[in-house]
Chains A and B, each alone.
Chain A
Amino acid sequence: MNATTTFHLDGEEIPFTPGQTIMQAAVAAGTYIPHLCWHPDFQVNGSCKLCTVKVNGRFGSSCTMEAQVGMEVENRTAEIDDKRRTLLQMLFVEGNHFCPSCEKSGDCSLQATAYELKMMSPHFDMFYPDRPVDASHPDVLLDFNRCIMCGLCVAASRDVDGKNVFYMGGRGLLGRRVHISSESGRLADTGFAVTDRAASICPVGVILPKRRGFAVPIGQRKYDLAPISEQVKVKTP
């Protein structure tokens, strides 16, 4: 590795290859930057803004910004984590998140990130939106009450499965939603299969396989074992 291609992340020297984003370089170095919509296997989306950092004094999304030599990047400062906590609270109040009755609980990125950032309450008034549940498909349940609009299902269905079952559309807080590619709007009327990549990509509890239930006992689920910040997958080149 060329010694000159590094930047600073909270004072730590992070090496990078030209073209890499701050997020990619940080993950490769095993350093956690909170994120929800970014996934190493997919095109960057840049919508959740959890990965907001301060670069040379200005805010930016670390999943979209390319690393530059000598950058000073602030990540886990009180100021930025405060903003991230507020973003999480926004995501919690805009949907309906009742973790005790959610199969994803313990394995959910939203929840785990909220633990990491010590979110004790949703803070804002709840919206309690009326969002649909689609149980039409024989093997997969969709509960959009928990959707955080990360776009990962769209990317997986398009880029891996080649099916384009999902697409983000609509506008604003109430309008924006995942559209399902059938005239009825039902998942059963698409070519979706439980073996699709899109069936297992959702970071929260929207896209769930049926007949699985609360499979892993409390205490042994992914984020029971270790906080999300300690589970950064380091890709060995």
Chain B
Amino acid sequence: MSETDLIDAVLDRHRRDGTRLMQILREIQEQLGWLSPATLTAIAGAIAWPRAKVEGTADFYSFFYTRPMGRFRVLWSDNITDRMLGSSDLMSAMCKKLWLEPGRVSEDGLVSVDTTSCTGMCDQGPALLVNSRAVTRMTQARVGEMVSLIRSETPVAEWPAEWFAIEDNIRRKDILLDHGLVPGQALAAALERGPQGMLAEIKSARLRGRGGAGFSTGQKWEACRSAAGHGADPARYVVCNADEGEPGTFKDRVLLNSYSSLVFEGMSIAGLVVGAKKGLLYLRGEYRYLLEPLQAALEARRRANLLGSNILGTAFEFDIEIHLGAGAYICGEESALIESLEGKPGRPRIRPPFPVTRGYLDQPTTVNNVETLAAACLIATHGSDWYAAHGTEKSTGSKILSVSGDCERPGIYEYPYGTTVRQVLEDCGASDYQAVQISGPSGICLAEAEFDRRIAFEDIPTAGAFMVFDETRDMFEVARNFAHFFAHESCGFCTPCRVGTTLVRNLMDKIARKHGSPYDIDELFKLHRLLQGASHCGLGNSACNPVFDTLNKFRPAYEHRLMSLNYEPAFDLDAALSQARQMTGRDDAGAHFPDEAEA
């Protein structure tokens, strides 16, 4: 097939519909390797969008390439947990063996090696993506074998299957992971209750969102249900947020891998309540390997009359579509996610209006986390009294934690809300711990004195990440890794976050290079105060949390790196003469700066 035919086939499959641009770009790229200027022009013409708009989207996402890439693209997951398992050394070794600089494509166009934000394999790292496929448990030996396979241009499909094995690692089950439901059971119960009855049940169960913000699910569904659709084609939508980009979080991956029936059923129940006929599941690009299994699961549900029209013999009509993301943490933010679903860069919208009144295609939309939707199945089946008997008064039910870092048994732990941090540490086999980062970089860093606090909305709310750091870990380096994450993931829309996250990253790097002074610490505090209030969305507002927390709780980790009490430049002055030395061949005393400390 010629390139044009190939592009046309993809475009036709998506009905030349611009809102499907993300999927169009991905599918074309999967076949052509990259998105050339001519390809973008062709796509823009076909979907009748301004070309710059198509390019704007292609340019936004980490996994879209507007420049030719290597035939093998290796992306090492760069979460702190991967680093703690030795990913930096492994990546350097790989680059060395391939004679390659990180981030560059080899001259023969064979391979590129780079880092990417957390790929959600923290319990089985170091992890990487090779041509969009996830590989776990990297070792020096695997690096060697992988380099040989790349050199011999062996297609990734022929690589050892065990490299791509992804474990669930479920260590503790509670009401959700031990649900005991058969497909259709919860949905039948919901249909029995009817939309109003089901809504009432969700409300009296006091279910709150598991995606981080903890908003009341009942309120959200009710607001969506009572919002009128707009325009010629009024509709309502259910969106399942499976972007799971918060570093250290991987519980949605396990839910989608082994509990997808529950998730799809939760979406259907939400559809029933809000009056939607269509659900969209936004799956992060890192979980590309789940796409086909999930599609097969949807097909099975359609065959079982659990999706489609006349569901379980009623008038209820609902179907689900899967959209794949392309490497952008910000798309976990619900309004950015909706922009992405519409084919645009993931830029958070101005709120209000909230998605429940104007969401996907400007229609009332409820966006819910994977786990929230799964939990709705329990409420449909067992009722609100049963559900609310679990957990605490303000946090009913259970929470799934993704435990990683310094512990013997990393993996998935489900607890009733109200469980102490110390309990989790004990269960996962952590010892000599000094800190836990809860809910990822945008969450909170706890020190030992706080380990009796509880996982609950009223105490320590969490989207699920639970990263353990023992006494050998340097909490400054942890915060610096997170600062790099935010600078990389800032969408760039608003000034404070676009520039501020990079300034924070640079200050952290300056301190790491031992060029820092107390002046730089003051600067970090100042940036924290600015970003927290002035940013457009949650990313910018929480981007300085890890720095702020560690500065307060692990200050000496910063202080022992400070170079002097006086202001210091961020760069090495002597190195700033390097090019001139090289060009003049000089190396006399005048071609160097005396040691800065004594100058």
Contact = CB atoms under 8 A, between A and B. Distances in A.
Interface of A: 44, 46-50, 52, 59, 61, 64, 83, 86-87, 90-91, 93-94, 124-125, 127, 148-149, 164-173, 175-176, 179-185
A83 B56 CA distance: 30
A227 to B, nearest CB: 22
Contact of B328 (A47, A167, A171): A171
Contacts of B350: 44, 46, 64
Interface stretch (B4-12, B363-371, B490-498): B490-498
Contacts of A125: 506, 570
Contacts of A64: 350
Contacts of B503: 90, 124
A185 B488 CA distance: 25
B498 A176 contact: yes
Given A59-B533, A169-B55, A171-B62, 6 more contacts: A83-B534, A149-B492, A165-B52, A169-B53, A171-B491, A173-B501
Nearest to B351: A64
Given A90-B495, A94-B498, A171 B534 contact: no
B52 A172 contact: no
Nearest to B37: A183
Interface string B166-207: 000000000000000000000000000000000000000000
Contacts of B506: 125
* Top 9 closest pairs, chain A to chain B, by CB: A169-B56, A176-B492, A164-B50, A167-B52, A59-B533, A90-B499, A181-B52, A179-B52, A170-B59
A175 B61 CA distance: 10
B488 A172 contact: yes
Contacts of B57: 169
Contacts of B530: 83, 86-87
A172 B495 CA distance: 10
Q: Which of B53, B536, B570 is the most central at the interface, judged by chain A CB atoms within 10 Å of its CB?
A: B53
Q: Which of B51, B57, B489, B506 is the most central at the interface, judged by chain A CB atoms within 10 Å of its CB?
A: B51
Contacts of A49: 494-496, 534-536
19 contacts: A47-B494, A47-B495, A52-B534, A83-B534, A87-B495, A87-B534, A90-B496, A90-B500, A91-B495, A148-B495, A149-B498, A167-B56, A168-B56, A169-B53, A169-B56, A169-B57, A171-B59, A175-B60, A181-B52
Contacts of B495: 47-50, 87, 90-91, 148-149
B498 to A, nearest CB: 5
Contact of B52 (A127, A171, A180): A180
Nearest to A52: B534
Contacts of B499: 90-91, 93-94, 173
Contacts of B328: 171
Contacts, number: 128
Contacts of B498: 90, 94, 149, 172-173, 176
Contacts of A171: 59-62, 328, 345, 490-492
Nearest to A173: B502
A52 B55 contact: no
Contacts of A59: 533-534
Contact of A167 (B53, B487, B489, B529): B53
Contacts of A149: 492-493, 495, 498
Interface in B38-60: 38, 40-41, 50-53, 55-60
A162 B62 CA distance: 30
A26 to B, nearest CB: 18
A179 B55 contact: yes
Given A181-B50, A183-B37, A47 B345 contact: no
B51 to A, nearest CB: 5
A177 B87 CA distance: 32
Contacts of B492: 149, 170-173, 175-176
B67 interface: no
B13 interface: no
